[in-house]
Amino acid sequence: MVTTHIPQPQTTPIQSALIVGNYCHDVLLQGGAVVAETLGGAASFISNVFSALSVSFHLTSKVGLDFKYPVNHDPIVIPTSKTTVFHAYFDQGHTENAHQDRVLKRVEVCDPINPSDLPDKRFDFGMAVGVGGEILPETLEKMVEICDAVFVDIQALIRAFDKNEGTVKLVGLKESGFYHLLPRVKFLKASSEEALFMDVEEVRQWCCVVVTHGKDGCEVFWKDGEMKIEPFGANQVDPTGAGDSFLGGFVGGLVHGLVVPDAALVGNLFGSLTVGQIGLPKFDLRLLQRIKDEVQRRKLHNTCWFEGGNDSMSFTKPDGHDEFHASLASTKLVPTCSIQECQRDVPRSAGSVEQVIQPPCNGQ
Ligand SMILES: Nc1ncnc2c1ncn2[C@@H]1O[C@H](COP(=O)(O)OP(=O)(O)OP(=O)(O)O)[C@@H](O)[C@H]1O
Ligand SMILES: O[C@H]1[C@H](O)[C@@H](O)[C@H](O)[C@@H](O)[C@H]1O
C-alpha cells in the first residue's frame, strides 16, 4: 500500500528532564577476539533517542580522564578515577543462564554518583539509568525528591559485581537496598531476565512495570491490568542497548503526549532500530522525520501526562493502536539517507575511539 506523507507541524516538548547514569566504554568480544569497541551506558543510548525525538534534558554522568568520546552532554570528569568499562562476551554456550544473550564483566569502574552531584533544581521527570552500580540508594532518594516523576531501569538497582573478574550478577530487588523507594517511583523497566529477580505482582501495586522481551516486544503491568505490546521486525546484529533505547523511545513518546500503550510502541520501535546496528545506533534522518510525524499525528493529549498527574495516565489501548503500529512499521520502509545524513547524539570524529571490526552476533 502506498501511503501519502503529510508533514506535521513539529513541537518540541518543554518538560525538563534529568538523566542519571555513567557513560561507559563497551568492548564486545567473540571467540576470544575483540569485535567492536564503542561508547556505551544506558545514559548514552537514552540521550541518543531523546535527541532524535527532540526531547531536551540535563545529564549527570561521571567518567575518568581516559574518556575520549566527543559527547554533546559533558560528563563530570574525575581525575582520580577511570571510565567504567564493560567487556561483553557473546560466545554461544558461554552463558551460565539460558536467559542471557551475553556475559558481561565490569572491568573498570568510575566513581558513584552522589546526591550532591545532582543539579540543585527541580525537574518534571528523572531517569535512574545506571549500569555499573553508580546509583546509590541516597542518589535515587534525592531523584524522587527533585523530580515529579522518576523512571528506573532495574539494572541500575540489582547488579552486583564479582570481586575478582567483575562478572555481572543480579540480586533480588528486595535485597538491593532500593526496595523502600519503589512506592515513590513511577515506572520500573526490566528485561525478562531481570524480571525474574522481582515480584512483579507486588511491585505493580506501587508503580507501572514494563518488561521487555527482546524480539517479542514488551508487556506493561499496572495495578489493575496488563497488556502486551507488539514488536517490530529487525535483523539483529548486536542486542546491546536495546533496552536502553526502548526506554528512551517509551519516555520520549510519553513526553510527546502519547498514552502508555502507544508510547510503548515507540519504545519497541527504537529497540528494534538499535539491535540492527553495533553499539550506539545512528538514525536515518528521513526515518526520524517520519517517526516524528506519526507521533505528532497520533498524540491524543495536547499536553504530556506529567502535567495531569497519575490519574491522567491512560493504560488501555486506545482506538487506532494497531493502525499506529502499522504506520510506525511503515516508517522503516522509507529509502535511507547516505551515512552523512544520519543523526546521532554523539558525533563520530577523529578523536573518537569507536571501532567496529565485525558484528558480535548474527541475526536470528
Ligand atoms: N531482535 C529484535 N527484534 C525486534 N525488536 C527487538 C529485538 N530485540 C530487542 N527488541 C526491542 O527492544 C526492546 C528491548 O530489548 P530487550 O528485551 O532485549 O532488552 P534488554 O535485554 O534490556 O537489552 P540490553 O540489556 O541489551 O539493553 C524489546 O522490548 C523490543 O521492543
Ligand atoms: O552499553 C551497555 C548498555 O548500556 C547495556 O544496557 C548495559 O547492560 C551494559 O552494561 C552497557 O555496557
pLDDT in tens, 291-345: 999 999 998 765 665 554 455 567 889 999 999 999 999 998 876 655 455 565 5
Mean pLDDT of the chain: 88
Report yes or no: 213 and 221 within 8 Å, Cβ to Cβ.
Answer: no
For atom 18 of ligand 1, the residue with the nearest CA is 214
- The percentage of residues in the chain with a pLDDT greater than 90, rounded to a whole number, is 78
- Is residue 241 in contact with ligand 2, taking CB distance under 6 Å? yes
CA distance 105 to 4: 48
**Ligand 2 atom with minimal separation from the 244 CA:** 6
Residue 213 corresponds to which amino acid? H
Query: pLDDT of 52-81, one tens digit each?
Result: 999 999 999 999 999 999 999 999 999 999
What is the pLDDT at residue 311?
53
What is the pLDDT at residue 313?
66
Query: pLDDT of 5-62, one tens digit each?
Result: 445 455 567 689 999 999 999 999 999 999 999 999 999 999 999 999 999 999 999 9
Contacts of 31 (CB under 8 A, 6+ apart): 91
Q: Is the ipTM of this complex over 0.90?
A: yes
For atom 28 of ligand 1, the residue with the nearest CA is 214
For atom 2 of ligand 1, the residue with the nearest CA is 215
Report yes or no: 264 and 292 within 8 Å, Cβ to Cβ.
Answer: no
Averaged pLDDT for residues 97-120: 89
What is the pLDDT at residue 98?
46
What is the pLDDT at residue 67?
97
pLDDT at 138 over 90: yes
CA distance 87 to 259: 37
Strand partners, 187: 151, 208
Instruction: Kindly state the greatest CA–CA separation across the chain.
Output: 59
Q: What is residue 96's DSSP assignment?
A: S
Phi, psi of 221 (to 5 degrees): -120, 130
- Is residue 153 in contact with ligand 2, taking CB distance under 6 Å? no
Report yes or no: 262 and 301 within 8 Å, Cβ to Cβ.
Answer: no
N- to C-terminal Cα distance for the chain?
A: 27
pLDDT at 93 over 80: no
Report yes or no: 323 and 261 within 8 Å, Cβ to Cβ.
Answer: no
Task: Ligand 1: list residues with CB < 6 Å.
Answer: 191, 212-215, 217-218, 231-232, 234, 236, 239-244, 246, 268, 271-272, 275
315 versus 105: the higher-pLDDT residue is: 105
pLDDT at 348 over 60: no
Residue reference for cell 568499562: 85
* Residues written for the chain: 364
pLDDT at 185 over 70: yes
Averaged pLDDT for residues 157-165: 96
302 versus 213: the higher-pLDDT residue is: 213
What is the pLDDT at residue 351?
34
pLDDT at 94 over 50: no
Residue 18 grid coordinates: 534529568
Report yes or no: 209 and 185 within 8 Å, Cβ to Cβ.
Answer: no
For the question of whether the overall pTM of this predicted structure is more than 0.80, the answer is yes
Q: Which ligand is nearest to the CA of 245?
A: 1
162 counts as catalytic: no
Contacts of 256 (CB under 8 A, 6+ apart): 11, 13, 53, 55, 295, 296, 299, 304
